[in-house]
Amino acid sequence: MMPKSRTTVSLLLLPLVLWLPCLPHILGQNVVPFEYHDYSQVTQVLREFHQNYSDITHLYSIGQSVQGRELWVIAISDNPTVHEVGEPEVQYVGNIHGNEVIGKELLLHLLEHLAGGYGKNGTISSYLNTTRVHILPAMNPDGLQGSLEGDCYSSIGRENARSYDLNRNFPDKFEVNTQPIQPETQAIMNWTRSIPFSLSAIFHGGAVVANYPWDNTPLGQNGPSIYSRSPDDDIYRHLALTYSENHGTMHQGDICSGDFFEDGISNGADWYPLRGGMQDWVYIHGECLTVTLEVSCCKYPTQDQLGDHWTQNKNSLIELLLQVHRGIKGQVFINGTDVPVSEATVTIGDRDNTFHTTSDGEFWRILVPGQYSVTVSKAGFSSETRTVIVPGNLTFSAVIEDFYLVENGTSSAPNASVPSLTFIITSTLICLLKVKTVF
Ligand SMILES: [Zn+2]
């Protein structure tokens, strides 16, 4: 009797078993389980999200790994396939070291949170209507495939398939990097140059700290650990603190054995200098503020810890996204026309760095609250300097300041010095965000 009974029960359950994998589709949304996703499973999750949220997602590849795996990116926004003029772009990159896997999983859960919240949660909807977020869960899929769950400390799987550490493979600001540029690195470089990213985060494991440029120093990676201050040190400290203070434990600074980071943040080279890091390259060549987020003491913890990691990082991931709307943004035009000026330089005070306008004349500068002198200049035009106040409250738009440059040899047209009405509007109409309670 028993065998017959078991058979009957099994047959009765069969339709249910076959139906279960379809459940997320039937509910009209995806659910990412707290289980590890290898390369093919990451690909599958991204495809399903794109299928179920086709209006707000765009799935694309930025290139291939050494072993031919696609480097998948999913963009999420109200209009995900194009850059919309004035909208800032954010880049989140996981798994640059193949054996540091928590960031990859966090990014899949973040995708679920954003996609599932669009149209239901007011803050998520407003954010995605004013911002495009690009998520690359696995930058080093070849290394990932060779990594081992439970391996906290080894370097197995860290490098790409040609044994290059991708976070030592970028051209360096301070010293010559003789490493041949790897396909994964080249893909990141091409991608970063093709989209005007304003904010980037790169996820690692092996520590719990929010780290910011510079990663190298004038003395090089074999020199001492010293604070290597970038021109945007104030806003970098703010971005790093945003992550650590909203994280479940990072701000305590002593989460991993033997480490102590005051407030859970560190200047990169003050921790240890390194040559060829992605962070410094994206900052310089992407003209994009970039932080490195170390999110787990163990590089590849056991799967049962994934839920806790999401809980610890969820608010931080979202709070950091919102910071892209801090500071100023605008467009630069030829005075008296609606013709944009591309490749104009936008300088904040005496900060020794250069940000350029896009082909639509756009610029973004993330800034902490305060008063700034903003200068826009380009050869062949008279430069213009203006004082701008960045408020403390956070909104879905930076302060908008458009500039109208007068071509040399021409007279100034009426709108050369018109105060920005948009600044007044954004300062008065925008609503305050209290993210912890809203999300
Ligand atoms: Zn790493």
* 128 contact partners, CB below 8 Å, separation of at least 6: 56, 76, 77, 78, 114, 118
The amino acid occupying position 137 is P
Average pLDDT for 192-208: 98
How far does the centroid of ligand 1 lie from the alpha carbon of residue 299, in Å? 8
Which residues are catalytically annotated? 294
CA-closest candidate to residue 398, choices 343, 346, 340, 336: 346
Residue-wise pLDDT for 401-412, tens only, equals 999 999 998 866
Contact 203, 295 (CB under 8 A): yes
What gap in Å lies between CA 248 and CA 252, rounded to an integer? 9
3-state secondary structure of 39: helix
How far does the centroid of ligand 1 lie from the alpha carbon of residue 153, in Å? 11
Indicate if the pLDDT at residue 313 is higher than 60.
Answer: yes
> In the prediction, which pLDDT does 268 show?
98
How far does the centroid of ligand 1 lie from the alpha carbon of residue 351, in Å? 30
- Three-state SS sequence of 320-337: HHHHHHCCEEEEEEECCC
Residue-wise pLDDT for 345-373, tens only, equals 999 999 998 899 999 999 999 999 999 99
Average pLDDT for 324-342: 98
Average pLDDT for 35-50: 97
> In the prediction, which pLDDT does 409 show?
87
> In the prediction, which pLDDT does 279 show?
98
Residue 66, CB half-sphere, CA atoms under 13 Å: how many?
17
Which residues, listed in sequence order, are joined to residue 387 by a DSSP beta bridge?
373
Give the confidence band of 420 by pLDDT, cuts at 50, 70, 90: very low
How far does the centroid of ligand 1 lie from the alpha carbon of residue 98, in Å? 8
Average pLDDT for 318-333: 98
Average pLDDT for 213-221: 98
Residue-wise pLDDT for 58-113, tens only, equals 999 999 999 999 999 999 999 999 999 999 999 999 999 999 999 999 999 999 99
How far does the centroid of ligand 1 lie from the alpha carbon of residue 64, in Å? 20
